[in-house]
Amino acid sequence: MNSFSKDTFLTTEEVARLLGLPEVTVQRWEHQGKIPYKIINGQVSFKKSEIIRWAKAHDLTIREKHGKSKDLISEHLLTDAIVAGGIYHNIDGDDVYTVFHNALNNLGFIDKKDHDRVFDELLNREELASTGIGNGIAIPHTRNRLDLNLNYAHVAIIFLNKPLPFNAIDGKPVTVLFMIFTTSVKEHLKMLSRISFVLQKSQLKEMLAGDIEDQNLITQIKQIESDAR
């Protein structure tokens, strides 16, 4: 290889990816002499700098990073979020205000100074529509996405001391809260579909109703989440 040239050479496939086009199109352009190429060792090669100049001259968009990385969402989104958020027992309170207040005091990942904002936003959301999704479970979350300095989703599972009237869809009082904090719409959407999937499993419904070790619960959720994929 020529050691002077710092140019990288690309294959047809790489050029296609760079320009966001099907490989066959690049091949056709090469046959029709529309795109500059070289033959190196009998192989069609494209000089990267030349292709970029050519694309600019023809007003074609170049994808600087091949296959733009989508927001990375963990395989075990819910499990990771629960591990980060924690599981809490015996949270007391006769109404939603007290319960939310007591719950927040337990959540170490939320800064004290943010408590008031989070509290208001949680209630704000409940006023629009109850997050009680039936079977004694609710999924409270803030109405607007607050900047809480979280790098990824946190879910706190909160077991209540006594059943709380929550205006849920099935009218049953709530005993477990899945309090959700997400960092983007994408993550929120993914989280909703994971929770929906996990909570439909009957073994989990039973576990939440009964007495269960935290570690077991997490293992179980991780197992179900793996099956989901």
Site for other proteins in 21-50 (CB under 8 A): none
Taking the complex as a whole, the smallest distance from the CB of residue 185 to other proteins amounts, in Å, to 5
Q: Are 166 and 93 in contact (CB under 8 A)?
A: no
Taking the complex as a whole, the smallest distance from the CB of residue 221 to other proteins amounts, in Å, to 16
Site for other proteins in 101-130 (CB under 8 A): 128-130
Q: Of 21-29, 107-115, 188-196, 207-215, which part binds other proteins (CB under 8 A)?
A: 188-196
- Which residues, 6 or more positions from 191, have their beta carbon under 8 angstroms from its beta carbon? 77, 78, 81, 153, 155, 180, 182
Q: Is the CB of 40 or the CB of 169 nearer to other proteins?
A: 169
- Which residues, 6 or more positions from 95, have their beta carbon under 8 angstroms from its beta carbon? 164
DSSP string, 43-58: EEEEEHHHHHHHHHHT
Show contacts of 113-119: CB within 8 Å, 24+ apart: 114/146, 114/148, 117/146, 118/142, 118/146, 118/148
Q: What is the dihedral of CA 57, 60, 40, 66, to 10 degrees?
A: 140
Q: Which of 8, 49, 61, 124 binds other proteins (CB under 8 A)?
A: 61
Positions marked active-site: 141
Q: Is the CB of 37 or the CB of 136 nearer to other proteins?
A: 136
Is 196 a residue that touches other proteins (CB under 8 A)?
yes
Taking the complex as a whole, the smallest distance from the CB of residue 169 to other proteins amounts, in Å, to 5
Q: Is the CB of 44 or the CB of 55 nearer to other proteins?
A: 55
Q: Is the CB of 29 or the CB of 197 nearer to other proteins?
A: 197
Taking the complex as a whole, the smallest distance from the CB of residue 190 to other proteins amounts, in Å, to 8
Is 154 a residue that touches other proteins (CB under 8 A)?
no
What values do phi and psi take at 109, rounded to 5?
-80, -5
Q: Which residues bind other proteins (CB under 8 A)?
A: 20, 61, 68, 128-135, 139, 141, 143, 169-170, 185, 188-189, 192-193, 195-197, 200
